[in-house]
Amino acid sequence: MHILSLPHPKLTPIHTTPPPLYHLLVPSMAENSKPSYDDQQEIEELISSLPKGKGWHSSGLTLYQNFWCHSKFLPGVISFQRHFLARDSDVLIASKPKSGTTWLKSLAFSVLYRAQFNPTEANANHPLLSSNPHALVRTLELGQSAGHAPDLSGFADPRLFGTHVPYDSLPYSIRRSRCKVIYICRNPLDVVVSLWHFVAQVDAGDRAGGWSGMEEYFDNFCKGMDGYGPFWDHLLGYWKASQERPKKVLFLKYEDLKEDTAGNLKRIAEFMGVPFSDEEERNGVVEEIVKMCSLGSLKELEVNKTGRSIAGFENNSYFRKGEVGDWVNYFSLSMAERLKNIMEEKLSHFGLTFRVN
């Protein structure tokens, strides 16, 4: 068993230069981003009054609307809440970090825009071959800050975005419109390991005020003090929404997507309103998308070996093993039992269970 101890990452400024070919779908966010609101001071004062806690970075966590958010990202979350205007044709990829977000973004992008970018053609111009999935599917709260928000009005329909914000804290326009939300979750034991490796790989930064090691992070995770957590509240918010509004919210499990990627890809396409035709299935479109978006394929692309995402993280930090059950190599028996008991207590009453190996 390996217990990791490592420095904490340094956040770098958000880059908004559009990747190659992305301009075919959307205009540059950099060109259209402007300080269009006068609520910067109000947001900063609000954040300063909220409870604080430890996080993986020296900026720590802030408790906002009953979830913990990395303080560095909270101004963008609040601006996103206040100013984002959803369209009925929008599709939103929602998740807690390190739950299969990168993979689902690549799958959803390939399905939704396959008319523009045919995955069966040997075409080096497919955006996924030259752009990181997070550049193609922007995480909305990372493109905003207090007093600043990108102008998204020029984006072509249907728009595809991402978010880590809990369901009950999403902008009103998302919850009340007919836009679609696809949520992916993963068994929390693997999430902890995946996130810890992610932190290990991104740039080392100021350790002051951050977690001292894996055990401290694990303890805080179990207490609900984790980015966008507690994890059980995050899961249940989207789970309940999917039960109440199944045509609006599709709830996916990472483990199920791994076990039957093609079958779940068809579910995703149907849910987004772009089902695969019989001809597409005969021509192997589903299989080509599965192959192109596999972790192994994405990991080997040059664009995902170098460079940084719009959040400032190295592109290669988004790709590790992607295995189910890797937690057994890092957790003690007591750690695993503790988290399993929490999962049972918090989730089983709602019919939510996870395959953990």
Q: Which residues are catalytic?
A: 164
**Spatial CB neighbours of 347, under 8 Å, sequence gap ≥ 6:** 232, 235, 236, 353
Residue 212 three-state SS: coil
| Number of alpha carbons in the 13 Å side-chain half-sphere of residue 82 | 20
Partner residues linked to 229 by β-bridges:
68
350-354 long-range Cβ contacts below 8 angstroms, 24+ apart:
350/236, 350/239, 350/240, 352/235, 352/236, 352/239, 354/186, 354/187, 354/188, 354/253, 354/255
Residues 5 and 332: beta-carbon distance below 8 Å: no
Pairing type for strands 8-9 and 204-205 reads antiparallel
Q: For residues 290 and 278, give the distance between their C-alpha atoms in angstroms, rounded to a whole number.
A: 17
Phi-psi region of 163 (alpha: psi -120 to 50; beta: other; left: phi over 0): beta
Q: For residues 141 and 45, give the distance between their C-alpha atoms in angstroms, rounded to a whole number.
A: 19
The structure tokens 């996103």 sit at: 80
The structure tokens 């597409």 sit at: 280
State residue 222 phi and psi, 5-degree precision.
Answer: -65, -25
Q: For residues 173 and 153, give the distance between their C-alpha atoms in angstroms, rounded to a whole number.
A: 14
Buried b (16+ CB within 10 A) or exposed e, 209-242: ebbeebeebbebbbebbbbbbbbbbbbbbbbebb
